[in-house]
A and B are shown apart, each in its own frame.
Chain A
Amino acid sequence: MRQTVAESASVSAREITIEPVTRIEGHARIGLRLDESGNVVEARVHIMSMRGFEKFIEGRAAEEVPGIVTRICGICPWQHHLASNKAVDGCFGSEVPPAGRLLRELTQVLAHISDKVLHFFFLAGPDFFVDSHQCAAGNIMKIAAQAPELAKRVIEMRYRGQMMLEKFAGRSIHPDAIVPGGFSKPMSRPEREQLHADALDQLDFARFALDFAKERVFSRFDAGLMQLGEINTGFLGMVNPEDGGLELSDGILRLMRPDGTFHEFLGREYTDFIGEHVEPWSYAKFPYARAWGEGFSMLLDDPRGIYRTNCLARINVADFIRTPLAQAELLEFRSLFGRPAQSTMLYHWARLIELLYACEKVVELLDNPAITDQHVRNDVVPKAGRGVGCVEAPRGTLIHDYSTDENGFITRANLIVGTTHNLAPINMSVNRVARDLIKNGEVTGEALNRIEMAVRAYDP
């Protein structure tokens, strides 16, 4: 008989291992250590693998790299694609024509939509709206069994978003249509009309998703959930340099302290503001706020340099959202939770507000007649240089930093990918939940699933 998955954790003497962490992207193991009284003294999230992109793109022709680094992630390839192209543009000194910039922003924002739908309904959502007496037995197949119309609509909407990208740009997963100097092909008017019609359907769905979530999920966020993995951190996200509005594609970076004060900086200044710390028990590094001058610590009672990224961070650091429906939702959110909001479960709410923004933004971009202009790429000339390309990936601020030699080949690269900013906060949230819910050696399936729920909120 297949065992209850919720109770599947290895308990050996004073150690509990949860592996793999499921319904996330990537490989992680959670290791908990209990003392003699059965209380948690240590909780760690081990990132179990690494591939080495920043090393093996050395020696490659820079214009080939944006088609290679998409393979960092099959869920957010468009963000790596755009950040990489921006870094190469920086090295080569390329200027992108207006239509090229519009198409770049359109495809990258469109890609956010599919990820948010995937995450809320397929990955995290099953913890919230699958009726099951067994914890952690929720998954998309069970949703399909219990709520077939909802499942059908969700799958159709995600499919539609991917097909919008595919029909126009050739590929939705691992694209190559963004190129140094612009975009590989212009958009035709019939393409624009079709995409616009699809975008309106997406916007409809985003409104439905938020209404559904507020009624069926967020209304049930009791004190237990609101405090799940609760930590107090700073936040990092991109904003418009002129007015501080939410930005996903082109902007400056705003690093906010827990008290709401902040620094702002350009992408290329990132090493002055962000440091990276290494722990001996994880392949991934831990970014921290070097700019605060307090060093790095993940101790729950003495956190230092800890900030979060991803949607909750972005809506915290932004002064407002330029699109009307999302802005109305943000005002409601802030009236309930203040600014910055710290509760980890609110990532799910913030994610759906961002979904709404992304859908509105796509309609807005397609409303712009300049998007069908035929001049989409300027020629580029490979040369020596340095470029830092930043975008907001669904998981957080993405930084691609390259240098090239006189032939335009990569000599060095540094990458900070969105999710890594959240690795220290994830460790802290797991630590918090584990200490709150595991006491005196009592380990329940529900507690173990709640620990994973704290991880999933970050969409790592």
Chain B
Amino acid sequence: MSLTLCSEALSGCSGCEMSLLNAGGSSLSLLDRFDILHMPILMDHKYFDSSGGTQEIDIPKAGLGLISGGVRNEQQLRIAEKMRRQCDTIVAFGTCAAYGGIPAMMNLFEDEDLFRRYYRTAEGTDAAPNPLQVIPPFLERTFALDEKIAVDFILPGCPPHPDVITSALESILEGKSPQLSLLSVCDSCPAKREGKGSAQRIRRFVKNARYQPDKPISEMRCLLDQGLLCMGPVTLAGCAGMNGGPPRCIEARVPCRGCHGPVRKGGNQILDILNGLVSNGIDTKNLPDRLSLLRFSGAHGRIKRRSAPKAD
């Protein structure tokens, strides 16, 4: 069974598209089952045809629309809206589309602060006014896709694992809904936990975790128990794909930072982890860099602008 496909990338980094290609041989056979009508990173369909004008973006009608990246500027909004009109099913592809992702960290700041820094005060830059010609103006902040258009499915991950992508696309090809995990990263982590955690304070990751290099992760003490802030308890599982491997950051002996977004629908990763830490008796008053905990899910109004006036 074949399906027409349009794919767009908004305010993201192409990592999701690269993950799709990381499925190896399966990438090609999967892509083959779609009739790809629009996918700028791989093929040459354009927005504007020779009948003139640049007002109407041309995106063909398709059964499936994949959109990665959040919505940052007016052109990306138009593209998202056009994709919604033209595609029967819209998938928010990756954490940026689903939750805002890393680019939504900009929601803490005023855009003018960015422009001042980038175009006038950056070291070595010849100061100039903000560019305004041709390029699309910013919206008031970075949005997740579902804040602007109706989304049928989300596929979180930064990026989602290739196996999860192929499985989701195969489900859609068969007319079924993609199934995401309902578990947390902790549920899929083999590290050793001994009842309630014994760490009292969180330390910064300026020293490696404690583990025996030649032993498997199942013999390493849970990183949260070691006093390292790990977002595993509040983050959706799936980063290691479908084959039950350990969470990938844990594989590197590095704590999870939550790139798959919240484990529970509508969850707030900062509030959820703070509650979790407090209920384990961990002092959260001196938590370093609290805002970093929302680095993947700052859209939906979760990261708000500071109200204090900025000195120049």
Contacts and interface: CB of A to CB of B under 8 A. Distances in A.
Contact of B45 (A8, A44, A55, A185): A8
B42 to A, nearest CB: 5
A369 interface: no
B172 interface: no
Interface string B174-218: 000000000000000000000000000000111111010110000
B46 A18 contact: yes
A175 B126 contact: no
Given A156-B25, A162-B22, 10 more contacts: A55-B109, A74-B15, A122-B21, A139-B44, A140-B42, A141-B43, A155-B27, A177-B252, A278-B119, A285-B119
Contact of A185 (B46, B248, B253): B253
Interface string A381-393: 1100000000000
B105 interface: yes
Contact of A20 (B46, B134, B211, B257): B46
Contacts of B60: 2
Interface stretch (B29-37, B84-92, B143-151, B270-278): B29-37
A279 B208 CA distance: 45
Interface stretch (A196-204, A269-277, A421-429): A269-277
A11 B257 CA distance: 48
10 contacts: A19-B47, A22-B43, A48-B135, A49-B11, A144-B32, A162-B22, A174-B259, A280-B133, A281-B131, A379-B206
B303 to A, nearest CB: 9
B206 A171 contact: no
Contact of A188 (B17, B44, B76, B213): B213
A208 interface: no
A44 B134 CA distance: 10
B19 A5 contact: no
A247 to B, nearest CB: 23
B3 interface: no
A60 B292 contact: yes
Contact of B288 (A61, A170, A277, A381): A61
Interface of B: 9, 11-19, 21-25, 27-28, 31-32, 36-37, 40-50, 52-54, 60, 72-73, 75-76, 101-103, 105-106, 108-109, 111, 113-114, 117-119, 122-129, 131-136, 158-159, 204-209, 211, 213-214, 248-254, 257, 259, 288-289, 291-292, 295
B149 to A, nearest CB: 18
A55 B117 contact: yes
B106 A141 contact: no
B13 A68 contact: no
Q: How large is the interface on A (under 10, 10 to 19, 20 to 34, 35 or more residues)?
A: 35 or more
A280 B129 contact: yes
Given A10-B50, A49-B76, A29 B44 contact: no
A68 B249 contact: no
A219 interface: no
Pairs of residues from A and B, 3 with the lowest C-beta to C-beta distance, nearest first: A74-B15, A170-B252, A10-B48
Contact of A271 (B111, B123, B159, B288): B123
B32 to A, nearest CB: 7
A56 B43 contact: no
Contacts of A175: 252
A162 B24 CA distance: 10
Contacts of B49: 3, 7-8, 10
A31 B134 contact: yes
B153 to A, nearest CB: 21
Nearest to A190: B214
A278 B14 CA distance: 25
A72 B13 contact: yes
A141 B15 contact: no
Contacts of B24: 155-156, 159
A51 B118 contact: no
